[in-house]
Structure 1
Amino acid sequence: MSDANTTPDPDEGIGRRIARKRSARGLTQQGLADRAYVSRSLIQQVETGRKPATPSLVAAVASALHIDPVTLYGQPYRGATMRKDRVHAAIPDIRKALTYVDLAPTLDTPPRPLAELAKTVTEAKRLQQQARHVQLGARLPALIDELTVHAHDTDSPRAWRLLNQTHSLANSLSRRLGYTDLAQLAMERAARSADRSDDPNLPQLVTLSRALLLLTIGAWDPALALLDHAAGHVEQDRPESVTVFGALHLRAAIVAARAGRETEAWGHHGIADDAARRIGPRVRDEYGVQLTAANVDIHGVAVAVELTDFDEAIRRDSRLSLPSSMPADRRAHHEIDVSRALVSTGQHDRALRRIQSAEKTAPQMTWYHPMARETVGRLVDHYRALPEPLRAIQEHMSLS
């Protein structure tokens, strides 16, 4: 569980948080290393900032210390002013909207027609792809409330499908901002709405979210088992179903890579690549999983980064040419991954340019992404005189 009553220090990096939490538990570096199944030298180097705190290490240390990984990341990242903290404003209302299970909320006015709400859901999904967290959060609570009323009043599969999409959006936003408990609640609601949607692929997509939460806490085997089970239940009778099948294998590739299982990771990546080639570029992305050749290539870079094969990640990136249609959140995530690889190979100027690109592409995503903040922290430690672009990013993240 996270330390809910403490406010994380934005100036404190992951390594220092690990050291502080370790000391609070009365553990030596060797003691923590033994519990996390890593070397003492790795713990020492991460705590002193000489090596990056990778997501796999954070998961292992959090498990050893019996805390939520978000505690070590320092999430949620709260701003010192109302303007900087506004990304969190919608969280209480989203939490309230998700409390309704067996009955619908009582609204002050009747819900909008389902056709109008469907358009609003499409707009909300676009905001998610643009990583506009503030704007998405502002729309979600009322949208969830109205669709909950429709779903319970009519029991229409279409209403349940639309409600499922809002539950998935709430899950994604909560997870990105570091509200693990709320992401778990949204995922449970998504599983319920998926079951009542008459769409056999939606329950499998819930598995994508479940695997992502398991990935965060380092539960590799359960995550891979769930993904394998879900992929086996996808009827690949139409191209849209094949996109779901491929997306499950892309997620499995990342999980296996973070677990350090190189052969398994590239095996899943290859299956996803084959699925993307089978459906071709013109299939409608009905489920928003982005199973395209470009996204598979991006995941290839991510797999190499998670395996800490940074040279391979940089080589793969050098061969990429991302289409302009690539959603901003995917493009920015890729830039963050590459910046991690570059800073880990001592290419600090190039790493700074890539993190700048991530911020330009999707500012809100970059400011609230733990690995982006960790990379910026390492760049700050490297430069004696901070370049102005780095100083600006540091200020936007409230790390100064």
Structure 2
Amino acid sequence: MSDDGTPDAIGVRVARTRKRRGLTQHGLAQRARYSRSHIAQVEAGHKVATPAFVAAVAAALAVDPAEIYGQPYRGHTRADDRVHGSISDLRRAMAYVEVGPELDAPPRTLAQLSAAIDDALELRHQARHIQLAARLPGIIEELTWHVYEVGGPRAWTALHRAHNLAASLTRRLGYNDLSGQIMERATVAAAQSQDPHLPLMITHRRSLLMMGVAAYGPALRLLDKSIRSVDRSRPDATEVLGALSLRAAVVAARGQKEADAWHYYGQATEVSRAAGEPALDEHGTDYNPGNLAIHGAAIALELGDLDEAARRDEEITEPVLLGLAAERRAHHQIDMARVRAELSDYDRALAQLLAADRTAPQMTRYHPSARGVVAHLMDARRTVPEPLRRLHDRMSI
């Protein structure tokens, strides 16, 4: 924490961790493969710390990326900390291995629990982290009882879906260790489900954790193997193939493999066109033409082509953007805030952040990139606009 009680900026944490490791900026530059001047600018708050930069620095300093981001972002009061209140419940729900929990009441039926997972998926799409975190532990415990006390592929499939939601939420909140543990349990559930595509979707989600530690090459190899394993005769083949290709495009872009990134993106686009561009979400990927469009801008951003990212953003019409789930829309708006901040277009960067905050306030508050851009704008603006100050204060709780 800084002297005024607000959370330290990413650059301050990078400098502190670097010094704790006994490294100069030049030494860190050699390990992280970023220039010394780039590191100096991030540490001084003059440059936004991108996810790729954080992943590289965290790997070079042998720390979890969450430590560099300052996650988890805890509140000072019970009301401010509500989203984290269910983390201990999730850890407890994950403690049951090869035996079901002792429930206080009979569990809901599989049909009722499947409906509860559908509702939870909608909460994720709306980026309502607090409500989602409150529901998941009970769902997982009841499904764990079903798989060990009754069994059957239907129960394992439902548990896999619940695990995926929990792994996604905990990763977003900065609990990477717990997210990895849940992912491993989801792998077991996928194997028991008798659905050949569920293990492939584990790769889709695991690649995010791998990307966070700069393991781009291994992540791409896993994704490519999964792409080749898609059974195109199955009804969910379009979503699985398209989602895997989009994820591979982003991983390749983060790893600065430009040709591979646009190749995988083109592959995802062709899959969508061949299928008639439907909206598909059996696996919670929100695979649709609008999602393809915002991924194009995200890929350009990850490759460092800010002008191309801005151009693609401007081509996305308002109806297309409004047709996306709140989670995806806010993620894009945060990405474009990064673009505008890097281009020194601070007014439009703030406008994008405020749009993201209106779209998904819980997600925006807990998103590392949103916090990074807010901190950068606070430093860059000679006069701090009141909307920016309010957003900064809310993130500093």
TM over 0.5: yes
In the other structure, the counterpart of 1:117 is 113
The structural deviation recorded for 1:42 is 1.1
- Which sections of structure 2, spanning at least 5 residues, go unmatched? none
What is the correspondence of 1:294-313 to structure 2 with a 5 Å cutoff? Answer: 294-313=290-309
Question: Would you say how many aligned residue pairs link Structure 1 and Structure 2?
Answer: 391
What is the correspondence of 1:70-85 to structure 2 with a 5 Å cutoff? Answer: 70-85=66-81
Q: Paired residue for 2:150, among 151, 154, 163? A: 154
Q: Which moved more, 1:76-85 or 1:354-363?
A: 76-85
What is the correspondence of 1:362-377 to structure 2 with a 5 Å cutoff? Answer: 362-377=360-375
The structural deviation recorded for 1:285 is 2.5
What is the correspondence of 1:37-186 to structure 2 with a 5 Å cutoff? Answer: 37-186=33-182
Which residue identity is paired with 1:300? G
The structural deviation recorded for 1:385 is 2.4
The structural deviation recorded for 1:41 is 1.1
Work out whether 1:34 is the aligned partner of 2:30: yes
Partner secondary structure for residue 49 of structure 2: coil
What is the correspondence of 1:326-365 to structure 2 with a 5 Å cutoff? Answer: 326-365=324-363
In the other structure, the counterpart of 1:3 is none
Which residue identity is paired with 2:341? V
CA offsets 1:249-282 (integer angstroms, 9 cap, x no match): 1111111111111111111111011111111244
Q: Aligned equivalents of 1:282 and 1:306: distance in 2?
A: 27
The structural deviation recorded for 1:197 is 0.9
Rate the CA distance shift 1:67–1:323 in 2: closer, same or farther, 3 A.
Answer: closer
Please say if residues 204 and 244 of structure 2, whose CA atoms lie closer than 8 Å, have aligned partners that are also in contact: yes
The structural deviation recorded for 1:284 is 4.5
Which residue identity is paired with 1:338? M
CA offsets 1:313-343 (integer angstroms, 9 cap, x no match): 0000000022533110000000000000001
Rate the CA distance shift 1:283–1:46 in 2: closer, same or farther, 3 A.
Answer: closer
Please say if residues 10 and 77 of structure 1, whose CA atoms lie closer than 8 Å, have aligned partners that are also in contact: no
Q: Aligned equivalents of 1:323 and 1:37: distance in 2?
A: 36
CA offsets 1:55-107 (integer angstroms, 9 cap, x no match): 11111111111111110000000111211111100000001101112111111
Rate the CA distance shift 1:110–1:216 in 2: closer, same or farther, 3 A.
Answer: same
The structural deviation recorded for 1:152 is 1.5
In the other structure, the counterpart of 2:12 is 16
Q: Aligned equivalents of 2:321 and 2:313: distance in 1?
A: 14
Partner secondary structure for residue 104 of structure 1: coil
Which residue identity is paired with 2:337? S
Please say if residues 10 and 70 of structure 2, whose CA atoms lie closer than 8 Å, have aligned partners that are also in contact: yes
Q: Aligned equivalents of 2:279 and 2:11: distance in 1?
A: 44
Please say if residues 240 and 285 of structure 1, whose CA atoms lie closer than 8 Å, have aligned partners that are also in contact: no
Q: Aligned equivalents of 1:232 and 1:251: distance in 2?
A: 14
The structural deviation recorded for 1:295 is 0.6
Which residue identity is paired with 2:300? A
Q: Aligned equivalents of 2:324 and 2:149: distance in 1?
A: 38
**TM-score normalised by the chain length of structure 1:** 0.95
Q: Aligned equivalents of 2:40 and 2:278: distance in 1?
A: 50
Q: Aligned equivalents of 1:313 and 1:239: distance in 2?
A: 33
The structural deviation recorded for 1:15 is 0.9
The structural deviation recorded for 1:238 is 3.8
Partner secondary structure for residue 84 of structure 1: coil
In the other structure, the counterpart of 2:228 is 232
Work out whether 1:248 is the aligned partner of 2:244: yes
Partner secondary structure for residue 242 of structure 2: helix
Rate the CA distance shift 1:383–1:283 in 2: closer, same or farther, 3 A.
Answer: closer
CA offsets 1:7-56 (integer angstroms, 9 cap, x no match): xx753111111111111112111111111122111111111112211111
Percent of aligned pairs with the same amino acid: 50
The structural deviation recorded for 1:158 is 1.2
**TM-score normalised by the chain length of structure 2:** 0.96
In the other structure, the counterpart of 1:383 is 381
Which residue identity is paired with 1:177? L
Partner secondary structure for residue 83 of structure 1: coil
Higher RCO (Cα < 8 Å, 6 or more apart)? 2
CA offsets 1:332-376 (integer angstroms, 9 cap, x no match): 000000000001001100110100000100111110010000001
In the other structure, the counterpart of 1:4 is none
Partner secondary structure for residue 75 of structure 1: coil
Q: Aligned equivalents of 1:157 and 1:123: distance in 2?
A: 21
Please say if residues 331 and 356 of structure 2, whose CA atoms lie closer than 8 Å, have aligned partners that are also in contact: yes
Partner secondary structure for residue 82 of structure 1: coil
Please say if residues 49 and 378 of structure 1, whose CA atoms lie closer than 8 Å, have aligned partners that are also in contact: yes
Please say if residues 290 and 323 of structure 2, whose CA atoms lie closer than 8 Å, have aligned partners that are also in contact: no
Please say if residues 10 and 74 of structure 1, whose CA atoms lie closer than 8 Å, have aligned partners that are also in contact: no
Q: Aligned equivalents of 1:324 and 1:385: distance in 2?
A: 32
Q: Aligned equivalents of 2:280 and 2:56: distance in 1?
A: 39
Work out whether 1:193 is the aligned partner of 2:189: yes
Q: Aligned equivalents of 2:15 and 2:375: distance in 1?
A: 16
Q: Aligned equivalents of 1:16 and 1:386: distance in 2?
A: 21
Rate the CA distance shift 1:84–1:230 in 2: closer, same or farther, 3 A.
Answer: same
